[in-house]
Amino acid sequence: MGVHRIHRDEGPEQRRLVGAIGISLGLALFGPRLIRTVGSEITELDRSHAFCIALAAALTVIVASQLGLPVSSTHVALGGIFGVGFLREYLDQRMARTVENVLHSHQGDEHIAEVERVLHTFVNAGAEAKRQMRHSSTSRCAG
């Protein structure tokens, strides 16, 4: 009668393989729908926001794994998406307060229509257009 020894290293490796296959299969089958739902119904994501979320999620999972902390990459990514949504809301509110303050400080000014037009243009402009507007205003002030 021989003694059969179980190697402790065989079980965890097989479980990792099954887990990796399950995650890959789930992502392949349901990933596009999940991304579409999260990216449009929770908060609007553009390419730069999506890249930042993916990079932050990957770094968070890597660091947590190195520290031996059990984390879910899905939960980390969803946390990043909610974080981007909260930041967008905060920045929108801050912009609205700033516009109100500028309009209030120009109340009764003879050029109020021009101030309103510039503010409206700035608020509705894209990032590159805002950068150009800011650059042109600083060069006018310096010159």
Provide the pLDDT for residue 21: 86
Provide the pLDDT for residue 4: 52
Which DSSP category does 5 fall into? P
Assigned token pair, 84:
């981007």
* pLDDT profile of the chain (143 residues), mean per 10: 54 79 80 72 78 87 88 85 87 92 89 88 82 72 54
Q: Are 64 and 71 in contact (CB under 8 A)?
A: yes
Provide the pLDDT for residue 139: 60
Provide the pLDDT for residue 55: 87
- Give the end-to-end CA distance of the chain in Å, rounded to a whole number: 96
